[in-house]
Amino acid sequence: MPYIREILTDGHPALRRVARRVNPKEIREPLFQQLIDDMFETMYAAPGVGLAAPQINVSKRIFVMDVHDDEHEPAVVINPKVEELSEEIELREGCLSVPGIVGEIARFKRAAVSGLDRHGQKIRIEGEGLLAQCLQHEIDHLNGALYIDRAKNLRPAVSEEEKETAEA
């Protein structure tokens, strides 16, 4: 059964490590599949639209995401690689590892990421809006970066809109 793991918050050294690539042979192991299930469980419980393995103290290049739109299914991406990007725009952002805070950050409007899914099959995810933003945010986590490192106007989430960004 999947269970909810503890989400680390800013200040924990595990959030600052560069996560290691996953050996594709490891993907079909039961413990690895459990990890993915636990990541979804933890993300949905938070609630959040994405979660990277380092946030639950697993230094591996894996993230899960569900932006809750009709075009994009929930996804897990292992060993992600950014394939193409577009012009930058400024977006409001939050992070489960920096609870209650929001700020503005420059992100590419469109993003495409390739990698492996939970069966070890090649996948490619492409889009704009929250999907593109989330892809970039999760890949930052795998590189030990947090959005607060380059965000502007960091502040406690006060309005309903800001609270939504801060938690989901």
Residues 71-100 that bind Ni ion (CB under 5 A): 95
Quick one: DSSP state of residue 7? P
Among Ni ion, ligand GNR, none, residue 94 binds (CB under 5-8 Å by kind): ligand GNR
The length of the chain in residues reads 168
Q: Listing from the earlier edge strand, what are the strands of the sheet with 62-65?
A: 50-52, 62-65, 75-85, 110-116, 122-128
- Choose, by CB under 6 A, the member of 22, 53, 62, 95 that binds ligand GNR: 95
Stretch in the footprint of ligand GNR (CB under 6 A) among 10-18, 75-83, 92-100, 108-116: 92-100
Picking from 92, 85, 111, the residue whose alpha carbon sits closest to that of residue 168 is 92
Residues noted as catalytic: 138
Residues linked to residue 127 through DSSP beta bridges, in sequence order: 111
Tokens matching residue 166: 């801060």
- For residue 94, state whether it binds ligand GNR (rule: CB under 6 A): yes
Residue 95's SS3 state is strand
Question: Which of 35, 51, 139, 151 lies at the binding interface for ligand GNR (CB under 6 A)?
Answer: 51
**Phi and psi of 26, rounded to 5°?**
-75, -20
Which one of Ni ion, ligand GNR, none is in contact with 51 (Cβ closer than 5 to 8 A by kind)? ligand GNR
Q: Write out the residues near ligand GNR by the rule CB under 6 A.
A: 48-52, 55, 93-97, 133-134, 137-138, 141, 165, 168
Residues in contact with Ni ion by CB under 5 A are 95
